[in-house]
Amino acid sequence: MFRTPIIAMTALALASPALARLSPPERTIIAAADAGGPRDLALLQTLVAQNSGTRNLDGVRRVRDLVLPELAALGFATRWVPMDAVGRAGHLIATHAGRPGTTRLLLIGHLDTVFEPASPFQTATREGTVLHGPGAADDKGGVVVMLAALRAMQTAGALAHANIEVVLTGDEENPGEPFSVARGDLIAAGKRADVALDFEGLVIENGQDYGSIARRSAGDYTITASGQTAHSSGIFSAPVGDGAVYELARIIAAFHDQLPEPNLTFNIGLIAGGATVTRSPDDAALAATGKPNIIPPTAVAIGDMRALSQEQIDRVKAKMVAIVASHLPRTDAQIRFREAYPPMAPTPGNRALLDRLNAINADIGLPPMPALDPLKRGAGDISFVAQDVPGLAGLGPASTGDHTPEERVDLASFPRQIKRAALLMTRLSKEATPR
């Protein structure tokens, strides 16, 4: 990982036709990004070794204690925002005051992982050009790329004039509710910013790096159906009707047939019906009792819906409500939508940021990055600010197996991601704020 010395890299910068287009400070950024590899890897291994599952509040705070000094050393004023009110550890926020009137950058990442202390996946292992470990990519690798990019800017003297706010949430993988509290500080930071940059992972397909200018929403819904219970011999009769399970099946089949459209997905992840249905407190389990010869009075399904715009969300929700309301004989049903991650729509401002990044790719000899199909990545914290500020996601490292015990981060992707981020931030931070 990053073995080229600064002197050799500087010579290459002067000799390369592409790198020759960079300013002297930008060439220093390139060299510093390569030279920082061993330090970056050591920090990544230290972060991964500390469990920070979302509900491991002490573990999240320990990761904060590892990251905070890194930001402080770069001249950031740091503060910790506890989230006791929503049952989470809190958020690390850091600000760097630069030249007045220039573009204000918001950098977004997170301290937590999906791997709680009970998970058997707890340690990091170096496997050649990859690091295998919990959160090695999502998002501890992203945090390391962010810090390394800022450090490269500092080495080149480019950080001094930059206005930057960093928000590292402690519950991205399992956010507290209500979102108005759990994401209130991030939303406020978005309203202050001119550009938002998200340091979750880079997507690579068939050797091609992609830029992310859109992310879909993510929200759950619960359908609860009810019906008359009786002996099974009376099913579909006028006095008894169709029962709760058939009512729920009707709704799900209608969703399947009537809802599909571009950029929309809707899934049923859990379903149960019978004489009784019991839900676990975290909605991760449904338990049913009953018999084949009893018409079930209750049935429950829990699903997930993702869409690309608020207009699409509102329209599809209205269709779902209408489908649920068209009951089979002697049945009833309701649908309840849970608070959801908002979408990050592919706005012209987001596309312009990807164009800026592709100009940097050209200057450092990298291929252009097409916009990633939003179906190919999940929801993220940048969506909470997408209504207020143009943004770009996917500035972290590439990886495979995220959210599974096979999570592996591609160490070879760090240098180019650090350079891209550092150069983009440097160029944007020199410009006058657009508002």
Q: Is there a single domain that holds both residue 249 and residue 207?
A: no
- Tell me the C-alpha to C-alpha distance, in Å, between residue 163 and each of 105, 196, 355, 434: 6, 12, 22, 14
- 268-289: pLDDT as tens digits: 999 999 999 999 987 889 999 9
**Helices (H), ranges, 114-263:** 140-155, 179-182, 184-192, 243-258
Structure tokens at 254: 């209608």
Q: Which residues pair with 273 in a beta bridge?
A: 299
Closest C-alpha to 48, from 110, 119, 122, 116:
122
What is the C-alpha separation between 368 and 264, in angstroms, rounded?
28
| 3-state secondary structure (DSSP) of residue 295 | coil
Listed residues 297, 314, 337: the one ending a domain:
337
CB-based contact 53:119 (threshold 8 Å): yes
Q: Does 1 fall in a domain?
A: no
Residues 231 and 86 grouped into a single domain: no
Confidence of residue 14 (pLDDT cuts 50, 70, 90): very low
Cβ contact 88:171 at 8 Å: yes
Q: Of the residues 317, 337, 357, which one is the last residue of a structural domain? A: 337
pLDDT band at 1 (very low <50, low <70, confident <90, very high): very low
Residues 208, 313 within the same domain? no
**Domain end marker among 337, 367, 394:** 337
Query: Using H for helix, E for strand and C for coil, what is the string for 18-70?
Result: CHHHCCHHHHHHHHHHHHCHHHHHHHHHHHHHCCCECCCHHHHHHHHHHHHHH
Confidence (pLDDT) at 415: 96
Q: Do 326 and 362 belong to one domain?
A: no
Using alpha carbons, select from 148, 173, 115, 78 the residue that is nearest to residue 381: 173
Residues 195, 266 within the same domain: no
Specify the pLDDT at position 221.
97
| 259 phi, psi to nearest 5 deg | -95, -25
Q: Which tens digits make up the pLDDT trace of 283-336?
A: 889 999 999 999 999 999 999 999 999 999 999 999 999 999 999 999 999 999
Residue 6, pLDDT score: 37
Produce one character per residue of 59-92: b if its CB has 16 or more CB atoms within 10 Å, e if not. bbbbbbebbbebbeebbbebeeeebeebebbbbb
Looking at the predicted structure, is the pLDDT value of residue 2 above 60? no
Mean per-residue pLDDT for 187-194?
98
Q: How many domains does the chain have?
A: 2
Look at residues 145, 189, 194, 171 and name the one whose alpha carbon lies nearest to residue 389: 194
Rounded average pLDDT over 396-415: 96
Assigned domain for 434 exists: no
pLDDT value, residue 434: 82
pTM over 0.75: yes
Round to whole Å and give the CA distance between 254 and 321.
11
**Are 24 and 134 members of one domain?**
yes
Q: What does the DSSP 8-state code read for residue 3?
A: -
- Mean pLDDT across 378-402: 96
Q: How many residues does the chain have?
A: 435
Q: At what angle do helices 348-363 and 414-429 cross, to 10 degrees?
A: 120
Return d(Cα 201, Cα 144) in angstroms, integer: 12
Whether residues 53 and 199 share a domain: the answer is yes
pLDDT at 16: 54
Q: What is the pLDDT of residue 104?
A: 98
236: CATH: 3.30.70.360
What's the pLDDT at 13? 41
Across the range 151-174, mean pLDDT stands at: 97
Residue range 129-142, pLDDT digits in tens: 999 999 999 999 99
Q: Is residue 388 a contact partner of residue 122, using CB atoms and an 8 Å limit? A: no
> Rounded to whole angstroms, how far apart are CA atoms 168 and 133?
20
Q: At 276, list the tokens.
A: 């009784």
pLDDT at position 15 over 50:
no
On whether both 192 and 310 belong to a single domain, the answer is: no
pLDDT on residue 19: 76
Give me the pLDDT at residue 18, please.
61
Whether residues 111 and 229 fall in one domain: no
Cα radius of gyration (the chain): 25
On whether residue 63 sits in a domain, the answer given is yes
Determine the pLDDT at residue 28. Answer: 96
pLDDT digits (tens, 9 = 90+) for 79-91: 999 999 999 999 9
Mean pLDDT computed over 41-67: 97
For residue 173 the two structure tokens come to: 């993988």
**Parent domain of 302:** 219-337
Query: How far are the Cα atoms of 248, 326, 386, 398 from residue 106, in angstroms, in the given order?
Result: 44, 46, 12, 21
Question: How high is the pLDDT of residue 17?
Answer: 56
Alpha-carbon distance of 312 to 328, in angstroms, equals 28
Mean pLDDT of the residues in the chain: 94
Q: Are residues 278 and 354 located together in one domain of the fold?
A: no
The reply to whether 369 falls in a domain is yes
pLDDT grade for 7, boundaries at 50, 70 and 90: very low
CATH number at residue 190: 3.40.630.10
pLDDT in tens, 339-353: 889 999 999 999 999
Is the pLDDT at 9 greater than 50, yes or no? no
Taking the CB of residue 238, how many other CB atoms lie within 10 A of it?
8
Six token digits for residue 232? 């099974």
Whether residue 229 sits in one domain with residue 175: no
- Amino acid symbol at 195: V
Q: Which residues contact 35 (CB under 8 A, 6 or more apart)?
A: 2, 4, 5, 6, 9
For 151, the token pair is 């450090």
Which has the closest alpha carbon to 374: 219, 265, 266?
Answer: 265
- Shared domain for 319 and 385, answered yes or no, is no
